[in-house]
């Protein structure tokens, strides 16, 4: 990224480039086009949201966010969200888009849950409020191609697109590109790398979100297929938290299913939608809280939480001081494993000792990442940092509010 102070319009350019790269790479460019603003419109929206965040307004205590719908409020209302509920819209007499209007009316919405709707092309207007679709766990997931710009604090904005995928983050005059997924890779590649089916990855992301919010840090260590937990000082749960089986019992009318899940827990199949949300949210929250005890939380490959407080073994061989930073071009700055503490060292050793393991790590500062063996790169010596295990560190990108890139 070039040096120098960056403006919101620069963040809009970065976001648009990344969005097009993602949709072209996944052969879904036609899905983006009906919802896509012109670069001029996205720059203008980013500027107005940014400057609105700097204006004083006592009533605005939550993130300020807008969603852009070129076809107006009706386009959001009629948008297909797959198996998810549709947007709920509340149109009103249009207002000209300006920082002042956004700040004055920002309290009508709460980014991540609801947004001010911006529409138009040559003349951008605020046309209403839209409540985002809700998934079975009660969090807001936007399964569409609408662009959103959110100010989470004064002078800090995020630009996102479908599935609440962050594209660009601007703070302090610096832009951080938010690579969709684990870097610029698609879902199929991620499945091949991690060996974890998509439904189960979604459960892991929810646990990680909770751990991140708790701010005490922790490790989620996922074993390979057919492995059994056997670590020092571990506290084994007599009844594992069978997250994937709970997830498999969700009501079929409101589902994010992409692949066939594990057999559902038969004791839960009678539950209503709200009862199911309560059970699953409780299990996810408790799984996250097990990370508050020193040591790692151990999950098997079917995403059953089987132990906590585990002391991860030392590596069988010394680990490299520097390893590739996943999702970055060759030659970029590596991940400085040697400069990290015992939590990162333990997670890296856990993965290096056996193939098909994955370790997710949350730091107390809120950063989240993943150690994995990228078998497609092992022994290829693609850079000075490639190692014989194919050991890599992948930062996980969270956007504002409920967002998380998978």
Task: Give pLDDT tens digits for 224-260.
Answer: 887 877 777 778 888 888 887 776 665 543 333 333 4
Who has greater pLDDT, 127 or 233? 127
- Burial of 96-115, coded b for 16+ CB within 10 Å and e otherwise, reads ebebebbbbbbebbbbbbbb
Who has greater pLDDT, 197 or 60? 197
Who has greater pLDDT, 30 or 9? 9
What's the confidence (pLDDT) of residue 41? 95
Backbone angles phi, psi at 190, to 5 degrees: -60, -40
What's the confidence (pLDDT) of residue 180? 45
CA dihedral 100, 102, 104, 109 (to 10 degrees): -170
What's the confidence (pLDDT) of residue 236? 84
What's the confidence (pLDDT) of residue 301? 82
- Ranking 22-31, 204-213, 226-235, 364-373 by mean pLDDT, the lowest is 22-31
Who has greater pLDDT, 138 or 68? 68
What's the confidence (pLDDT) of residue 1? 40
Task: Answer yes or no: is pLDDT of 141 > 70.
Answer: no
Percentage of the chain beyond pLDDT 70 is 68
What are the structural domains, with CATH classification, of the chain?
8-177 (no CATH), 187-395 (3.40.1700.10)
Highest mean pLDDT among 6-15, 22-31, 152-161, 228-237: 6-15
Percentage of the chain beyond pLDDT 90 is 22
Q: Which of 102, 100, 206 is nearest to 150 (CA)?
A: 102
- Ranking 37-46, 148-157, 225-234, 325-334 by mean pLDDT, the lowest is 325-334
Please say whether the dihedral angle defined by the alpha carbons of residues 109, 167, 397 and 338, taken in this order, is positive or negative. Answer: negative
Q: With contact defined as beta carbons under 8 Å apart, do 262 and 143 qualify?
A: no
Helix axis angle, 198-214 relative to 273-289, nearest 10°?
A: 60
Model confidence at 123, pLDDT cuts 50, 70, 90, reads very high
Model confidence at 189, pLDDT cuts 50, 70, 90, reads very low
Model confidence at 76, pLDDT cuts 50, 70, 90, reads confident
Model confidence at 304, pLDDT cuts 50, 70, 90, reads confident
Q: How many residues does the chain have?
A: 406
Who has greater pLDDT, 260 or 357? 357
Model confidence at 216, pLDDT cuts 50, 70, 90, reads confident
As a whole number, the mean pLDDT across the chain is 76
Task: Answer yes or no: is pLDDT of 139 > 50.
Answer: no
């Amino acid at each position: 990224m070039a040096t120098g102070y960056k403006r919101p319009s620069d963040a809009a350019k970065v976001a648009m480039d990344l969005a097009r790269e993602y949709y072209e790479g996944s052969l879904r460019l036609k899905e983006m086009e009906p919802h896509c603003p012109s670069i001029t419109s996205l720059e203008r929206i980013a500027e107005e949201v940014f400057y609105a965040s700097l204006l004083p307004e006592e009533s605005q205590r939550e993130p300020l966010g807008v969603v852009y719908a070129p076809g107006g409020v009706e386009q959001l209302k009629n948008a297909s969200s797959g198996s998810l509920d549709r947007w709920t819209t509340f149109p009103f007499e249009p207002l000209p888009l300006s920082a002042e209007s956004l700040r004055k009316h920002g309290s009508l919405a709460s980014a991540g849950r609801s947004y001010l709707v911006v529409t138009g092309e040559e003349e951008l207007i605020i046309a209403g409020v839209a409540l985002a679709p809700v998934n079975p766990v009660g969090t807001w997931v936007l399964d569409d191609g609408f662009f959103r710009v959110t100010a989470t604090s004064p002078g800090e904005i995020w630009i996102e697109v479908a599935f609440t995928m962050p594209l660009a983050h601007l703070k302090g005059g610096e832009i951080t590109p938010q690579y969709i997924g684990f870097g610029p890779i698609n879902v199929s590649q991620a499945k091949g790398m991690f060996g974890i089916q998509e439904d189960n990855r979604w459960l892991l992301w929810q646990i990680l979100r909770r751990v991140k919010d708790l701010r005490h840090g922790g490790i989620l260590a996922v074993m390979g297929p057919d492995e059994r937990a056997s670590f020092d000082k571990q506290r084994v749960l007599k009844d594992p938290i069978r997250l994937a089986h709970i997830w498999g019992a969700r009501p079929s009318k409101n589902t994010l299913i992409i692949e066939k899940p594990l057999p559902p827990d038969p004791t839960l199949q009678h539950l209503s939608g709200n009862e199911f949300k309560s059970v699953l949210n409780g299990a996810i929250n408790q799984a996250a809280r097990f990370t508050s005890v020193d040591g790692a939380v151990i999950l098997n490959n079917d995403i059953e939480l089987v132990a906590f407080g585990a002391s991860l073994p030392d590596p069988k061989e010394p680990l490299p001081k520097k390893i590739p930073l996943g999702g970055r071009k060759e030659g970029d700055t590596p991940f400085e494993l040697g400069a990290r503490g015992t939590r990162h060292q333990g997670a890296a050793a856990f993965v290096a000792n056996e193939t098909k393991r994955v370790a997710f790590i949350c730091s107390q500062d809120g950063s989240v990442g993943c150690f994995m063996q990228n078998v497609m790169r092992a022994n290829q010596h693609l850079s000075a940092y490639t190692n014989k295990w194919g050991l890599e560190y992948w930062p996980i990108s969270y956007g504002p509010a409920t967002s998380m890139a998978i």
